[in-house]
Structure 1
Amino acid sequence: MHISRFRSGALRAAALAGASLLALQAAQAQQANLPPRGGSAGSSVQLQELSVESQGPAGERYGPVPAVRPGPGAPENPNGPIDGFVAKRSVTALKTNTPLIETPQSISVVGRQQLDAQNAQNLSQATQYVAGTYASPFGYDTRLDYFLLRGFNASDYGLYLNGLQTLNYGFGYFRYNTFGLERVEVLRGPASVLFGAGSPGGIINQVSKRPTFDPLGYVEVGGGSYGQKYAAFDFGGPVDKEGHWFYRLTGYARHGGTQIVGLPDDSYFIAPALTYKPDGATTFTVLTAFQRDNTGVSANFLPYAGTVRPQALGLRILRSTNVGDRTFNTFQRDQAFLGYQFEHVFDETWTVRQNLRYSFGDSYQNSYIGNGYDLSDATQTQLARYQFLVKDRVNIFQVDNQAEARFFDGLFRHDLLMGLDYKDYRLSDNQGTNFGANPFYAAPNLNILAPAYGPTVGIPGPYQVNFDTFKQLGLYAQDQIKLTDRLTLVLGGRADFVDNQIKDKLNNGRNSNGRNDTGTTYRTALIYNFDFGLAPYLSYSTSFQPLIGTDINNQTFRPETGTQLEGGVKFEPPGQGYVLTLAGFDIHRNGVLTANPTNPLFQSQLGEVRSTGFEAQLVASVFDGLNVSASYTIYGLTNERNGDTALIGKVPVNIPENFANVFVDYTIPTGDWRGFGFGGGVRYVGRSFADQANLFRVPDYVLFDAQVHYNWERWRFQVNATNLADRRFVSSCQTVNACFYGQARQVLGSISYRW
């Protein structure tokens, strides 16, 4: 107990000290003379672009600068728009403004133009053409976004917003509206050395829209399938004549139904942002967002017989079936983000940054959940159900302090990054059900041939009432060393100190539990850049992920660890407008959580899983008007160690190991048909397994997407169709009693005006 209190106090003190130090240094620097080449990329003081042949640091600061579309020859702002589909830079992989062709790790960037072309309504749709990424393994879900990166879940600890973790545990889950995003960056492989979290499969970083230097006005209305209607706006520009203040205000509202009968999908989102630039070296941006969602459980838990295969009467359950009850199949969420990003450039060597955010989420769910067929019904028409109730409230405070130094030591050129970050996560987790708890009552069956709904039978009794606190302090350093003009060595290391406490309020705290952990991670990588655009690379990295929650015996989970060896090649011939990335990887993940075999409401740490595979990603804007995104992924995923020896060598459930896709968008640039465009995509997903013994298979499937659009002056008219052929498919099965239908055909039309 004394150690825990001391460590918690030390964490808080260290983080506040780091914050105070950065603020003090920045204040002192205001009095100093500005460097001749200082300032952020895109600021009033222009910087040279770093190239492979660069003989010195080019001052590629990034900071939270206002997002403006770069002009011809200008370096791309890694937090801003992308010209076409092909991104040039990112700050996700290395936390420095580094060209992707010089980054020794596999990363994909989806920009605003591609998001608009796909009319991506959520993060799952935004990433469905990205290599190594399987979006929506649990099917059509209006509540949450689920992802597998290289075969591992990235939805819990692997989602980030503007470089800070959203940390989705239990039902304290955040979901950011994609209309408020400038880009989505998918980093594959361990990222713990800089972020202190994330599975070894990778992370997804969402980059929100920033204030603009130039005036911006945009409105959009749309609607389509299931009575959906939405409206959105996006305004921005300078506030004052002196050019020190800039703003952005983004909003979105949606109302309508879903492919599930009687289930709404309503959402309201607004994101004000403000940037202050007192000079060319300092940038301070406030980023906020508020969102309310009202929907229900659309990811129905359905049996294998009746979805993947016909049931006893040769029938399949309709995708539109509401397994809950129309009177109380409810999921509601309120969330808020309030934070800022600060950067100050002292001179050509030193830059400091601070990224800080407070996040709040409040969610409520009350619904029936499918639980297989009633065993007494030989016709398999009576679907058993149980009732599930959850009330979760989550608070997260995070701060990431960075100092970056670019210098020449007489032999090599360095880009040295040092950081201290702190996270304070608090979750009030209340879950109840009608079985296995007091009081017990039977939930009514649902006749899949003639669903009948009625009033609730009872109120679920609590089986888990926990208050979770999780604090993490991380110290990290990374050096990008130019051994030659073409060969770069990346070395990084990190130490984490974690305090993880669980208070069991259901038993008045008598079963309170917790642990303190420390962990170290590192990365070493080499990349060689040829002048014709070829860049082979090799990297080795480790991961460390503390786990929140307890097992069925109320014991706190130990941290999860992992290792990865990755080798690949990137090809970006100068001036050709395309990038090809090939990567092979071998990942070992230890301490993996799986459903407890005796009670699936709880999880157990059963052992080690290995993922070995290959990825290919092509992104191209090959000539005026044509944009392409295509990928192929194949890997082998096996249990290397497990509590049940019979499962060693088996493939975990829910996970396809082979998928490929291509998305094309073309706009006619000249002539009588100028402004008319069309395109679409093809998505192939391979087979997966529905049981741990790999006896029940979920078949592969192919989906088609299509879109047409027309640009006329400042207007844009667009129609998108997802799953054009309306194929009925099962995304995956968690067990033979928990299979999930994917999205049915959805058609959306939109009209937008920009000024």
Structure 2
Amino acid sequence: MRQHHVRPAALRGVSPKSLALAGASLMVLAHAATAQEATAPRRGLRNPPAEASVQLETLTVEGRGGPEAASRAIESPTGPVAGYVATRSATATKTNTPLIETPQSITVVGREQIDAQKAQTLTQATQYAAGVYSGLYGADSRVDYFIIRGFRASDYGIYRDGLQLLNYGFGTFKAETFGMERIEILRGPAAVLFGAGSPGGIINQITKRPTLDPFGYVEVGGGSFDQKYAAFDFGGPADGSGQWFYRLTGFGRTGGTQVEGAPEDRAYIAPSFTYKPDGATRLTVLTSYQHDNTAVTSNFLPYLGTVRPNISGLRIPRSLNLGDAGFNTFRRDQVMAGYEFEHAFNETWTFRQNLRYSFSDSFQNSDIGQLGYSDAAQTRLARYQFLTSSKIGLFQVDNQAEARFFDGLFRHDLLLGLDYKNFQLHDNQGTNFSKFYAVPDISILNPVYGPATGRPSPYLVNAISFEQVGLYFQDQIKLTDRLTLVVGGRQDFADNRVVDKLFAGAGSTSRTDSAFTYRTALIYNYDFGLAPYVSYSTSFQPLIGTSRTGQTFTPETGDQIEGGIKFEPPGAGYFLTLAGFDIHRSNVLTADPVNVQFQTPIGQVRSTGFEAQLTANLAEGLNAVAAYTVYGLTTEKGSAAEIGKVPVNVPENFASLFLDYTIPVGEWRGFGFGGGVRYVGRSFADVDNTLRVPDYVLFDAQVHYNWENWRLAVNATNIADKRFVSSCQSAFSCFYGDARRVVASLSYKW
């Protein structure tokens, strides 16, 4: 059942101690370089001065387009977005760069948009972004699944505060959206800076941070499936000297899901603080704890009975629990603790170090479908029992030295970096097949539940160790006041070791890989807000784990050429991005047809397409988000049955539009309403592309009322309660999408 089984490989013999020394050497290098700092004038630097870059979530002022241009507020790349239209990000370049000067397609979903849509998961928060298909495996309460530009990104492509959250096998992380300030979808390869990720793109979640000004926020709500929740968010100065700041964010939920008897309970707490002794130094400590108690809700169901009626003319109810409320169980505890340190030596050199340790402990015991029907009338489903226990320890540190200077001809924003990643996974998986007992089938008409038939025996007990070290550079060069050249390169060393602890004497399997990736791009900025760009980049993804036969995987590689246009007219209040792309991805993994709990490489897949994304503050109180994506996905190398065909699971065409309006004046001031429409095109359920999963259209709506510091809102997604299948992995593994969900909420802020 490893539908999200994906693997890398890494570097051996590099200890955290040596990395700490390397990080220190970068800091010394930056400090020493100040002695040779160029004395040429630094005219019109793209970024705010170093002093502004280390402020908390405050806005500074910078002119745009010369001294005659109107001044405007400059947002922090980790801070709030004013309305829906973000202007800056650090995800694509790891530097504080305006989006209009970033030669890559990126969408920023800010806190205001998340709240307006009442997005309770990362899947829901990204449903109106171009290039992204969220909810790949349907209504899954355990993990958020994504496809970006046709390639799955939920394994190696999810990041938090610029550091990766690896989801391998059944060892997973899942972030609480109430703890996020913004969510950024970077489309296209990002390996040149991050050393990992799908060539389709990554999703970077930015955590809420302490603020200069004191504030408070509380919210309660509830709705469908008897869900109830409460949340709070407090922060501000912690002392009278203005050096210490804090933030405490919490969220709690209890209730059910669209699957009968399956809970969706969560507790989340995130303390953080910032120490800012002066205008050049900042240390922010970010911590969180999260407990999830849920079940398997993305039932693995047959094509006949979900997408199409079965032989008896029946469809399987969305509410059917294939397990039992007593042991259809999934629990996870995760802890994250780390810091972000930044020190500006002067106007030229700044050093940053981002560090985090993440831990996840998960357990699952449930009956699973995936075997099809057990009777000729197709009224009973065969099942097997699956049990897994996974523990993850993930340590990461990213050291960066940034220099902004003028060399006499060109202005530079030079970034030098060294990062290290250490991933440890203890993976234990078992089924009833290993114990030689059968699990009773279940009726889709009158299900009868009972206790678990037995306890599965393990078929896999692995200790997986993955290390990776990367050295990278990037230079954003202003060739003229309007033309920017971005060049970057990265050398990675990766080591993957798997120790088989189930069979005595089986030993271990390991491999070491290295690769150089690079990116080059050009963007031209007109004064009236038009910015055409072109880029070429390569990617490298070492793959964790082994195949069914115990063999490690050759790393995945890819390359992309992208061209596009960005349009942000000064003062117009909207941002439009149009992008075309052509991606080749090699050594792609897919489910092993002999045993889908493992994976096997299928060769090379190509994705060629076009995207459009619009975010707009159209008028006072009126916000809009629109997106369109179309691409062609083809297997170019693989088995004879796969070549020339579209991989399963993947829709190639989708579009969305979301509007929200709050009346700004008059007797109805504070009353608002809005809604959205989402279209998803067809996909396929088999390699031969003979089983088609049809397209679907969903509608969302909301009404809300703001009165002084209070806000009352009612949100509904899939308001028509349309039954749809989000995708099929095979003829025996199809996944129902989200049923109608209505949430009422009441909040107060001060």
TM-score by length of 2: 0.95
Q: In 2, Cα distance between the equivalents of 1:284 and 1:544? A: 32
User: Is the 2:11–2:513 contact (alpha carbons within 8 Å) kept by the matching residues of 1?
Assistant: no
Could you tell which deviates more after superposition, 19-28 or 627-636? Answer: 19-28
1:58-90 Cα offsets, whole Å, 9 max, x none, are: 426776753246788321111000100000000
Do structure 1's residue 718 and structure 2's residue 713 form an aligned pair?
Answer: yes
Partner SS for 2:116: helix
User: Is the 2:23–2:418 contact (alpha carbons within 8 Å) kept by the matching residues of 1?
Assistant: no
User: Is the 1:421–1:474 contact (alpha carbons within 8 Å) kept by the matching residues of 2?
Assistant: yes
Residue type of the alignment partner of 1:179: F
Alpha carbons of structure 1 residues 592 and 443: separation in structure 2 relative to 1, 3 Å: same
User: Is the 1:341–1:354 contact (alpha carbons within 8 Å) kept by the matching residues of 2?
Assistant: yes
User: Is the 2:634–2:646 contact (alpha carbons within 8 Å) kept by the matching residues of 1?
Assistant: yes
Q: In 1, Cα distance between the equivalents of 2:604 and 2:728? A: 21
| Residue aligning to 1:472 | 468
Could you tell which deviates more after superposition, 95-104 or 455-464? Answer: 455-464
Q: In 2, Cα distance between the equivalents of 1:116 and 1:195? A: 29
Q: Determine which of 668, 679, 695 is the counterpart of 2:663.
A: 668
- Relative CO higher for 1 or 2, CA cutoff 8 Å, sep ≥ 6? 2
| Residue aligning to 1:43 | none
Residue type of the alignment partner of 2:717: T
Q: In 1, Cα distance between the equivalents of 2:121 and 2:364? A: 20
Residue type of the alignment partner of 2:745: S
User: Is the 1:81–1:112 contact (alpha carbons within 8 Å) kept by the matching residues of 2?
Assistant: yes
| Residue aligning to 1:428 | 426
TM superposition shift of 1:606? 1.8
| Residue aligning to 1:44 | none
Do structure 1's residue 751 and structure 2's residue 746 form an aligned pair?
Answer: yes
Q: How does 1:133-148 map to 2 (within 5 A)?
A: 133-148=132-147
Could you tell which deviates more after superposition, 507-516 or 519-528? Answer: 507-516
| Residue aligning to 1:602 | 598
| Residue aligning to 1:635 | 631
Partner SS for 1:304: coil
Q: How does 1:5-154 map to 2 (within 5 A)?
A: 8-10=12-14, 12-21=16-25, 54=44, 58-59=48-49, 65-68=55-58, 73-154=72-153
TM superposition shift of 1:623? 1.3
Q: How does 1:508-547 map to 2 (within 5 A)?
A: 508=504, 510-547=506-543
Do structure 1's residue 625 and structure 2's residue 621 form an aligned pair?
Answer: yes
Q: Determine which of 369, 378, 381 is the counterpart of 1:380.
A: 378
| Residue aligning to 2:4 | none
Q: In 1, Cα distance between the equivalents of 2:100 and 2:273? A: 32
TM superposition shift of 1:172? 1.1
Q: In 2, Cα distance between the equivalents of 1:212 and 1:12? A: 32
1:635-667 Cα offsets, whole Å, 9 max, x none, are: 00010000x212100000000000000111110
Alpha carbons of structure 1 residues 55 and 598: separation in structure 2 relative to 1, 3 Å: closer
User: Is the 2:288–2:335 contact (alpha carbons within 8 Å) kept by the matching residues of 1?
Assistant: yes
Q: In 2, Cα distance between the equivalents of 1:339 and 1:679? A: 39
Q: How does 1:670-685 map to 2 (within 5 A)?
A: 670-685=665-680
Could you tell which deviates more after superposition, 77-86 or 508-517? Answer: 508-517
| Residue aligning to 2:67 | none
Q: In 1, Cα distance between the equivalents of 2:345 and 2:371? A: 64
TM superposition shift of 1:726? 0.3
Do structure 1's residue 500 and structure 2's residue 496 form an aligned pair?
Answer: yes
> Which 4+ stretches in 1 moved above 6 angstroms?
23-29, 69-72
| Residue aligning to 1:391 | 389
Q: In 1, Cα distance between the equivalents of 2:175 and 2:395? A: 17
Q: In 1, Cα distance between the equivalents of 2:29 and 2:222? A: 51
User: Is the 2:110–2:182 contact (alpha carbons within 8 Å) kept by the matching residues of 1?
Assistant: yes
1:244-291 Cα offsets, whole Å, 9 max, x none, are: 000000000000111110111000000000000000000000000100
Percent pairwise identity: 66
TM superposition shift of 1:469? 0.3
Q: In 1, Cα distance between the equivalents of 2:226 and 2:338? A: 36
Residue type of the alignment partner of 1:390: T
RMSD of Structure 2 on Structure 1 (CA): 1.9
| Residue aligning to 1:410 | 408
TM superposition shift of 1:226? 0.8
| Residue aligning to 1:555 | 551
Structure 2 portions without partners, runs of 5+: 1-9, 62-70
TM superposition shift of 1:600? 1.2
Q: How does 1:421-460 map to 2 (within 5 A)?
A: 421-435=419-433, 437=434, 439-460=435-456
| Residue aligning to 1:488 | 484
TM superposition shift of 1:13? 4.6
| Residue aligning to 1:355 | 354
Could you tell which deviates more after superposition, 17-26 or 682-691? Answer: 17-26
User: Is the 1:67–1:209 contact (alpha carbons within 8 Å) kept by the matching residues of 2?
Assistant: no
TM-score by length of 1: 0.94
Q: In 1, Cα distance between the equivalents of 2:188 and 2:210? A: 31
1:35-55 Cα offsets, whole Å, 9 max, x none, are: 9xxxxxxxxxxxxxx9xx936
Alpha carbons of structure 1 residues 55 and 23: separation in structure 2 relative to 1, 3 Å: closer
Alpha carbons of structure 1 residues 564 and 509: separation in structure 2 relative to 1, 3 Å: farther
Residue type of the alignment partner of 2:120: Q
User: Is the 1:67–1:213 contact (alpha carbons within 8 Å) kept by the matching residues of 2?
Assistant: yes
Structure 1 portions without partners, runs of 5+: 1-5, 36-49
Q: In 1, Cα distance between the equivalents of 2:512 and 2:594? A: 28
TM superposition shift of 1:25? 8.0
| Residue aligning to 1:40 | none
| Residue aligning to 1:579 | 575
Residue type of the alignment partner of 2:390: D
Alpha carbons of structure 1 residues 55 and 424: separation in structure 2 relative to 1, 3 Å: closer
Could you tell which deviates more after superposition, 588-597 or 69-78? Answer: 69-78
User: Is the 2:127–2:133 contact (alpha carbons within 8 Å) kept by the matching residues of 1?
Assistant: yes
Q: In 2, Cα distance between the equivalents of 1:592 and 1:28? A: 44
User: Is the 1:64–1:79 contact (alpha carbons within 8 Å) kept by the matching residues of 2?
Assistant: no
TM superposition shift of 1:497? 0.6
Q: In 2, Cα distance between the equivalents of 1:536 and 1:610? A: 24
Do structure 1's residue 652 and structure 2's residue 647 form an aligned pair?
Answer: yes
TM superposition shift of 1:56? 7.0
Q: How does 1:266-281 map to 2 (within 5 A)?
A: 266-281=265-280
| Residue aligning to 2:7 | none
Residue type of the alignment partner of 2:242: G
1:177-210 Cα offsets, whole Å, 9 max, x none, are: 0000000000000000000000100000000000
Partner SS for 1:131: coil
Q: How does 1:732-747 map to 2 (within 5 A)?
A: 732-747=727-742
